[in-house]
Structure 1
Amino acid sequence: MKRIRFFQTVQWKVVILYLLLILIAMQVIGAYFIRATESYYLNNFNETLNTQANLLAVNVEKYLEEENIPREDIDNLIRNLFALRNADVQLLDQNGTVLTTTEENKAFIGQKNTRAEINMALLGTRNESIQYNPETRQRVKVLALPIKKGTKILGVLYMVASMEEVYHTMRQINGIFATGTVLALLLTAALGIVLSRTITTPVKEITRQATAMVGGDFNGQVRIYSEDEIGQLGETFNLLTRKLKQALSQTEAEKEKLSSILTNMTDGVIAADGNRNIILVNKPAQRILGVGYKKVLGKNLYEVLAIPGEEEWDFLFKENGSMLMDMNVDVDGEERLIRFSFTVLKSRGEEKKSGIIAVLQDVTEQEAMEKERKEFVANVSHELRTPLTTLKSYLEALEEGVIDDPELSRRFLRVLLNETDRMTRLVTDLLQLSRYDAGQYMLDLQPLSVHELLQDVFERFALRSQQENIALQVDLPADSLPLVKADRDNIIQVLDNLISNAMKYSNENTTVVMRAHEEEEAVRIEIIDEGMGIRRRDLDRIFERFYRVDKARSRSMGGTGLGLSIARQIVLVHGGTIDIDSEWQKGTRVSFTLPLYGENEDET
């Protein structure tokens, strides 16, 4: 497996390609060169043999014409004229009898040679051929040359020449060529490796960087080895890396911005694809619906929002593109009023929906505040209309003649003054509440002794408690309480309101107790009475403006219904808390805390 991968690399493909090209080129050149060389040597050998044969035939012709052929002269002539090595020469007469030979075996002299080549030569036909000698296992050139004078055949010159030197020379040439081919291949392989590395090394660098980019690392750079096309590719890849890094950085920044926006939005956002499957839910939406991210991801939007009649809603989406609806949703056992705003997203140039964006708003508190506002306006109108009606009635009576009756007119004027005072208190309380709501209040925070504060309030209400036959007590710890940080006038207003309410709703021969004790980082002050108490259903709304437990009794006593609301606002702006606990027909306990005063704190 590794070997296959090894040969699949570009580097070795280039090397093998070069080797094959060189091998094919050497083979083609070698075949042509060897064929031409072999032809040259063979032609040269044949020309030499024919030249020697013709020269020898001309010179022995005169000897063959004589009746007594001088054998010794012919032998000398052949030795002197015939220069080929590894060649045997036989001279035959017109009858085919061997007259002389250069062979070592002289037994052939005087014998008749009946070879086919010689018989054809005796008939006047020149014959030559290449034959294989089984004894020497060599190729030989056989030449039978007739010696003629005119048309008369005087004899035959029979020559057998070994061609082994020619083929030996060819084998040496082939060996040299093969060696050259091997050296060329080795040199080509070396040059191919060097050349391929100049190509594959930058490619490997680019591959390495591309792999790193897949893993998210865009900090690397491809090393540039040259200024050719490969180098230009590397520079282009580096530029691409920088552009991708910038683009991804911008995308990531935009993604973080979007994520931050979605996370910090007070409204919930749910995104669904074209099939209404949820693909995104931000944390406010999870909190509003009381669901987890993984629980709703991939689920149907209508199913999660419990929207009935999917086909009907789809029709509305197609018609309007967006819609608004309110729905009561049960979140952790509490019914919340959720406002849904749907917007259908469509791809440009396409009719098919590409997604739905649902914006969720928990308007429970808003609706409650709106309801309170309406009730507040109605209560203010009612509270003002009652004394105004009374004022108008008495003024009309005075105008109609009651003013002439001194005793009755004085009684009417006292009623008018009481109603005017009541309206003044109401307007004053409303103005005070509006300043607290708008944050337009000034506190003179000073170190304040709770002992002195409660004693002062006790002395102020001592006479009233005697008149109403209600015992007023102050219960303080033996140890002195630490100083608190508070505005004296505002806290006295709170205590006046709480003690007035306690005495107002208490019967005779009962007790109202003012108690104080230290808690962690605060002092808690409690007002406890034994009055009529408050029903449990009214406790949650007791601090609402104009809310009265006993409306008839409150109005008869001149209450505006704003006292506890003002007390609560004063305590809250001091950084404290106020609580009320009551049991019907047994009494009520109202407590609030004030923060301790630090020695290093500035007085503001």
Structure 2
Amino acid sequence: MKRVGFFQTVQWKVVILYLLLILIAMQVIGAYFIRTAESYYVNNFTETLNTQANLLAMNIEKYLEVDTVPREDVDNLIRNLFVLRNADVQLLDQNGIVLTTTEENKSFIGQKNTRAEVNMALLGTRSESVQYNPETHQRVKVLALPIKKGTKILGALYLVASMEEMYQTMSQINKILATGTGIALLLTAALGIVLARTITTPVKEITRQATAMANGDFNGSVRVYSEDEIGQLGQTFNLLTSRLRQAIAQNEAEKEKLASILTHMSDGVIATDGDYNVMLINRPAQRLLGVDYKTTIGRSLYEVLSIPEDQEEGDSFFQPAAPVIVDMNVEGEERLIRFSFNMLKSHEADRKPGIIAVLQDVTEQEELERVRQEFVANVSHELRTPLTTLKSYLEALEEGAMHDPAIAGQFLQVLLSETDRMTRLVSDLLQLSRYDARQQLLDIRPVDVSQLLYDVRERFRIRIRQERIDLNLELPGKGLPFVRADRDAVIQVLDNLLSNAMKYSNENTTVTVRATQEDSMVRIEVADEGVGIRQRDLTRIFERFYRVDKARSRSMGGTGLGLSIARQIVLAHGGTIEITSEWQKGTKVSFTLPIEEEREHEAT
């Protein structure tokens, strides 16, 4: 904030205003008073001079009627009747000759006074004027008064009275008035400063607090000095500060709440201005798009989403209609992102509204939807095939085949086989369903892996001979620790893996079962030398009902759920399962099981 100069402050303006008001008032009053006093003194002086001159003329009249004027008597008369100080009186006869004078210079006696005022008085005309005496440098009142007896002019009185005493009195009055004006101005300035401070001090307090509020500090308050309007203004300002502090605190809380929601919500959020420049992007959106916050803020949404910057196409793409699913390459991985757009309204009518984009990664959802559709289709297909067979054979039996013992026996064997197939399918589905719902109860106990593998080999001994396949069991010489597992569930996994290995192996090949210890896990591998699996099928090998060779799998009685069940069993034990394969060279499936800690300590 710009600093206010001293002479620009309200306090100084109030003092100057009061001083000017007092000065103008004193000047007006002083001018009127001086004019009135001067007029009064001049009139009083003139009236006194005229009165005394008339009185003197009346009393001297009898002395001028005689031929010889008694000078001493006239001088005594003048001294006794004329009381004005600093006034000179000349008595002249009808010819203008000075008979006597009160002036110190007596040389004028006997000489003729030729002044115009005297001549006019000898002609019978009274004359008076204010003149400047060049000798004394004083203003004087000149009065020439005829002395008459009826119409006869006997002589004249010539009076010259100094007015300096009167003007000195006026000067003293002016000095007193000026002094009073100065004192009044000083008192007014002091009172003005006090009064201005009573006004400006609260205003300064409010200004200081307003400046602090402008800088973001809402913790201060204004000191209230009085209960008048300014005090009420201070109280109102304090109330405003308190309300603003509460509003800002509430706004900050809402802002933090919104930031927390945006940060922790699973969906991505992007906010733009009217020009589609990014103003806000939360972490899920950064993760979904593979971008950084600092490099994204301020960039165009077209650039962030890698959309061609076509205004018409962009406006149609960003319209708040149905959600749009876009296939995007995020850090080298293809992801399906669903965008939902909404308009971000602006309070300013001339500004274009921005948009809010909500991002959701629907890759897994779409994949689950695809798997679900395939699952439903596969289940329908797997059930329809045996049901069709059952229906056909039952219809044949109903039409008379049941009366032929040989044919009826064959048909019943087929019906039993298809029924077993359906039973196995339903059992597998129920088992997968229980694992998905985490309702499958495992009987976890210490299991001797070596003994378990020996038992499994014995179970497959006859089948190995029939299919002319060798089964090789490789175990470490120091033995294996016990694992924490459900023995029957692990046997089911091994049965499934060994069955698959034998199905897809040729005669005179070897299936190898290998077990090793890796840290706190035991790894079991089943490797064959069969046809192998193509790389495009490996990513989907554990999907339900997925078959690499569908015709061959169905002909061998497989349901397509074996590997899915094996994977769920291994994951339920806290282990992992992996598969590697080379086409026409063989396949290796390995899974891990956790070691029983107590048994491990006993072994060491």
One-letter amino acid matched to 1:306:
I
Offset at residue 412 of structure 1 (A)? 4.5
Summarize deviations over 1:235-294 as a string: whole Å, max 9, x none: 222222233333334444444444444444444445556666665555544544455565
User: Aligned pair in 2 of structure 1 residues 409, 347: CA closer, same or farther (>3 Å)?
Assistant: same
CA distance, structure 1, for counterparts of residue 105 and residue 594 of structure 2:
147
Contact 1:98–1:111 (Cα < 8 Å) also in 2: yes
CA distance, structure 1, for counterparts of residue 515 and residue 228 of structure 2:
94
Question: After the TM superposition, which residues 297-308 of structure 1 pair with which residues of structure 2 at under 5 Å, given as runs?
Answer: 297=298, 299=300, 304=305, 306=307
User: Aligned pair in 2 of structure 1 residues 307, 288: CA closer, same or farther (>3 Å)?
Assistant: farther
Contact 2:446–2:485 (Cα < 8 Å) also in 1: yes
Unaligned runs of 5+ in 1: 600-604
User: Aligned pair in 2 of structure 1 residues 210, 130: CA closer, same or farther (>3 Å)?
Assistant: same
User: Aligned pair in 2 of structure 1 residues 514, 504: CA closer, same or farther (>3 Å)?
Assistant: farther
Name the residue aligned to 1:238. 238
Summarize deviations over 1:118-143 as a string: whole Å, max 9, x none: 11111111111111112222211111
User: Aligned pair in 2 of structure 1 residues 513, 443: CA closer, same or farther (>3 Å)?
Assistant: closer
Offset at residue 426 of structure 1 (A)? 1.2
Contact 1:326–1:340 (Cα < 8 Å) also in 2: yes
Name the residue aligned to 1:602. none
Partner SS for 1:537: helix
Unaligned runs of 5+ in 2: 599-604
Partner SS for 1:322: coil
CA distance, structure 1, for counterparts of residue 445 and residue 215 of structure 2:
64
Name the residue aligned to 1:66. 66
Question: After the TM superposition, which residues 61-140 of structure 1 pair with which residues of structure 2 at under 5 Å, given as runs?
Answer: 61-140=61-140
Offset at residue 565 of structure 1 (A)? 0.9
CA RMSD of aligned residues (A): 3.5
How much identity, in percent, do the aligned residues show?
Answer: 72
User: Aligned pair in 2 of structure 1 residues 136, 426: CA closer, same or farther (>3 Å)?
Assistant: same
One-letter amino acid matched to 1:17:
L
User: Aligned pair in 2 of structure 1 residues 549, 73: CA closer, same or farther (>3 Å)?
Assistant: same
Question: After the TM superposition, which residues 318-397 of structure 1 pair with which residues of structure 2 at under 5 Å, given as runs?
Answer: 322-343=321-342, 354=353, 356-397=355-396
Summarize deviations over 1:169-226 as a string: whole Å, max 9, x none: 1121111211221221122122112212222222222222222222333222222221
Partner SS for 1:206: helix
User: Aligned pair in 2 of structure 1 residues 101, 447: CA closer, same or farther (>3 Å)?
Assistant: farther
Select between 46-55 and 332-341 the one with higher mean Cα deviation: 332-341
Give the TM-score normalised by structure 2.
Answer: 0.86
CA distance, structure 2, for counterparts of residue 598 and residue 83 of structure 1:
145
One-letter amino acid matched to 2:19:
L
One-letter amino acid matched to 2:64:
L
Contact 2:469–2:502 (Cα < 8 Å) also in 1: no
Name the residue aligned to 1:506. 505
One-letter amino acid matched to 2:18:
Y
Summarize deviations over 1:470-523 as a string: whole Å, max 9, x none: 233132373754x6544444333333322333343334341412222223x544
Name the residue aligned to 1:210. 210
CA distance, structure 1, for counterparts of residue 64 and residue 157 of structure 2:
11
Give the TM-score normalised by structure 1.
Answer: 0.86
CA distance, structure 2, for counterparts of residue 163 and residue 598 of structure 1:
136
User: Aligned pair in 2 of structure 1 residues 35, 514: CA closer, same or farther (>3 Å)?
Assistant: same
User: Aligned pair in 2 of structure 1 residues 543, 41: CA closer, same or farther (>3 Å)?
Assistant: same
CA distance, structure 1, for counterparts of residue 8 and residue 522 of structure 2:
85
Summarize deviations over 1:92-133 as a string: whole Å, max 9, x none: 222212222222222112111111111111111111111111
Name the residue aligned to 1:163. 163
Offset at residue 28 of structure 1 (A)? 0.8
Offset at residue 302 of structure 1 (A)? 10
Q: Matched residue pairs, number?
A: 593
One-letter amino acid matched to 2:389:
T
One-letter amino acid matched to 2:50:
N
Name the residue aligned to 1:530. 529
CA distance, structure 1, for counterparts of residue 551 and residue 236 of structure 2:
89
Name the residue aligned to 2:22. 22
CA distance, structure 2, for counterparts of residue 20 and residue 447 of structure 1:
108
CA distance, structure 2, for counterparts of residue 536 and residue 207 of structure 1:
77
CA distance, structure 1, for counterparts of residue 269 and residue 531 of structure 2:
50
Offset at residue 378 of structure 1 (A)? 1.6
